[in-house]
A and B are shown apart, each in its own frame.
Chain A
């Protein structure tokens, strides 16, 4: 594996067209500025880059496989399908790529305490993991509703030495966990690094997270070239805040022949109130430090959102996705709970892979589009995580009673 190119993004202003920015309380501005400068410095630092590389290879198990899904390809009868297997990373998802990068930066900045928000618990587990590795203090903020329904992940974080704070304010889900983590940070910035879990929030987070996750497309581009000598025709990834998707797109954005598709969680349907399809249903706004697209009402209150997938259950999207959507460089499609659950079962039965319900939103789109494409065309679909965590809730969705 070659070293990760952290300078893919030449625009380091924190603006993606009109989107992005730093809409955050004054208390945090100096700290964000320090973080921005530190990142700009360390991404050029050979020692930092080597450390990052070694951790990605030796700890996270990179590069991840680019796997030719022959059975799916045959069954769907159209484009050739390749799966980028982020589910095989240490901790079972793409989240580790980002936490390694940010934690390493935190260490170089002299921070001793990591805080993070988490929805389903995947980013919390990844953060707790890297905190254990670096011997750092770790506190995770998680909505009370999520700590109740994801008890296994709460225990897992505690096992890794983290303290988990159930957040009881607001609607007690992911967005409230972010509010609480930001609030905690305003109280204690000196020794604390807020490790943001997606390509969201104020600058420099969207930029950093994109850079750290761009390892996905840096690898897939080389791997596909080795296997086929070609570029893909389409790249598909699921979009919550948008970190695995922006990482999957990053190295193809300047290749106009590659179509980029983000699969959003439509929940019960894009047209219903029970949805998390931000790009399709949302509008421009300012929240959580960024100008981007959000699900909100006319006054500007942020809407409660819904998806079967806790990892996609966020009322916004990272600013670069808002920009890619606005300029038409990427397309965003809504996938319902039903379609995602069908895809969960489908990929398990055809390929023997139990993929995360988040990732299955991308798989569901591939099932729709592959048959309409030619056999010489190629789709690269990112499997952002493994699905062990979802088995119980899928069983419940299907009305099967299993003892956990």
Chain B
């Protein structure tokens, strides 16, 4: 079974995100290890892209910081970070990136490296269902899941996307880009139910979650919660001191996704 699917077994999953090379090589390793220490079930590591069209200002800024620190930032440097991370923790990792980064490295070479280093999934916001076929068979050969996104306006596409999914399904909480929010789209529960009619692949809700209360609420609906901008904000604010804060925050959020709602 997929290592990512495994992470949802018997519990709700908490999936935090940080951007690679923000602030630097060592900082990335420490941040991911800290998230794992706090109890993260999967860590999403963002590969910075010059033009992250699905990301809001917070993650955009993280990408820019990362690329400013190293304008070339070769993929091999990021693979080295992963190697280093996995010497300290065996938390399952997934990459979040844009398709061009994977395309330039070569689909086969990229997913082969992922397999070798324990990257079990790829979240690629600019690769919708219709464009999956060029990568999916190659990724499958290397046991790398392509994590699809489903949105509140996916409509008839929900079942088709769910049917093709492996690993987990990323349920986008609301329209627009990543970033903290105070409100989510109506009908998320219906959306998740439609997915569950088609597949056993677990669902995690992301985009905008930052407080424990929100995490609890979302984990009542889906099988897990993904938190990006809030973690990136901690990294931006605390720099070298971020790891301790990230561990605390993760502990709190991990408890929240498995808590019963106080209503």
Interface residues of A (CB under 8 A from B): 21-27, 29-30, 169-170, 175-176, 179, 182-183, 186-189, 284-289, 294, 296-302
Contact = CB atoms under 8 A, between A and B. Distances in A.
B50 A302 contact: yes
B229 to A, nearest CB: 14
A183 B176 contact: yes
Size band of the B side of the interface? 35 or more
A25 B101 contact: no
Given A170-B64, A183-B177, A286-B103, A301 B50 contact: yes
A30 B157 contact: yes
Nearest to A23: B126
Contacts of A25: 53-54, 125-126, 128, 149
B153 A23 contact: no
Contacts of A286: 98-100, 103, 126
A52 B150 CA distance: 37
Nearest to A203: B130
Interface of B: 49-51, 53-54, 56-57, 60, 64, 67, 71-75, 98-101, 103-105, 125-131, 148-151, 153-157, 161, 172, 175-177
Nearest to A29: B128
Closest 8 CB pairs of A and B: A300-B104, A187-B176, A300-B100, A301-B50, A300-B101, A286-B100, A26-B149, A302-B50
A55 to B, nearest CB: 31
Given A21-B131, A179-B53, A289-B126, A26 B151 contact: yes
- Chain A interface, DSSP helix/strand/loop, else mixed: mixed
A287 B51 contact: yes
A264 B157 CA distance: 40
- Chain B interface, DSSP helix/strand/loop, else mixed: loop
Given A26-B125, A286-B126, 15 more contacts: A22-B130, A25-B125, A27-B175, A170-B51, A170-B64, A179-B53, A182-B53, A183-B53, A296-B104, A298-B74, A298-B104, A300-B98, A300-B101, A300-B104, A301-B73
A188 B175 contact: yes
Contacts of A26: 125, 128-129, 148-151, 154, 157, 161, 172
A30 B154 contact: yes
A24 B130 CA distance: 10
Given A29-B157, A170-B64, A299 B75 contact: yes
A287 B128 contact: no
A234 to B, nearest CB: 34
Contacts of B175: 27, 186-189
A186 B176 contact: yes
A188 B105 CA distance: 34
B99 A29 contact: no
Count chain A CB atoms within 10 A of each CB in B57, B60, B125, B126 and give the residue with the most: B126
Nearest to B55: A183
A175 B51 CA distance: 8
Contacts of B99: 23, 286
A24 B149 CA distance: 12
